[in-house]
Chains A and B, each alone.
Chain A
Amino acid sequence: GESVGLHLPTLSVQEGDNSIINCAYSNSASDYFIWYKQESGKGPQFIIDIRSNMDKRQGQRVTVLLNKTVKHLSLQIAATQPGDSAVYFCAENKPPNNNAGNMLTFGGGTRLMVKP
């Protein structure tokens, strides 16, 4: 079936370095993408989103890049801090088909570990 997946299950970076977390999606009909951060024992926390009519969007210390040609999504975190340590999920949303399609489809997640 169609799914959202990630290339790397675990990413370890040095504090202060930039982090890049990648995600591949297979549903070409998806037109809205979100990155979530999930810390242990907590629910997913919204980081940044992007719609398919854009290829880049920037937030505070984070940038999301969307390459529709190769169906690839990435999250860049600048100057990674220990508080960034968490599991990161990308999620996709496709246009609704009648009442269905409003749900998010999540990938398996990448664990980011920040070394002091």
Chain B
Amino acid sequence: GAGVSQSPRYKVAKRGQDVALRCDPISGHVSLFWYQQALGQGPEFLTYFQNEAQLDKSGLPSDRFFAERPEGSVSTLKIQRTQQEDSAVYLCASSLAGNQETQYFGPGTRLLVL
């Protein structure tokens, strides 16, 4: 079946612009995760949803970052007033259930803030 999809694949923003990144998880997957991956580093956790509930947002770096999953499927990560340090690849992953289930990743959105 279809895997996790993300859009756009690439996004160039001017500093101060708002951006919205979309994630379509695998159908039926309850859990959804957002990670941020800086160049040459491993992904770092941002936030976690179980269905529509955002259960953990401890990894969001500032209040400029906001995520939602209103109907328990598609999720959007929004970054307000983007800064250069926000440039990274934003990865979405989903899993069938919660803890200790394999997380399947999408291709990521590469964000470049100029």
Residues of chain A touching chain B, judged by Cβ–Cβ distance below 8 Å, are 4, 31-32, 34, 36, 41-46, 49, 51, 89, 91, 93, 95-96, 99-109
- Which residue from chain B places its CB closest to the CB of A6 in the assembled complex? B42
Q: Let me know if B33 is at the binding interface, CB within 8 A.
A: yes
Cβ contact within 8 Å between B91 and A43? yes
Residues of B within 8 A of A45 (CB): 105
A105 to B45, CA, bound (A): 7
Cβ contact within 8 Å between B105 and A51? no
A53 to B42, CA, bound (A): 26
A27 to chain B, nearest CB (A): 14
Among B35, B42, B105, find the residue whose CB has the most chain A CB atoms closer than 10 A: B42
**Interface bracket on B:** 20 to 34
Q: Would you list which residues of chain B between 31 and 75 have a CB under 8 Å from chain A?
A: 31, 33, 35, 40-45, 48, 50, 55-56, 58-59
A83 to chain B, nearest CB (A): 18
A102 to B35, CA, bound (A): 12
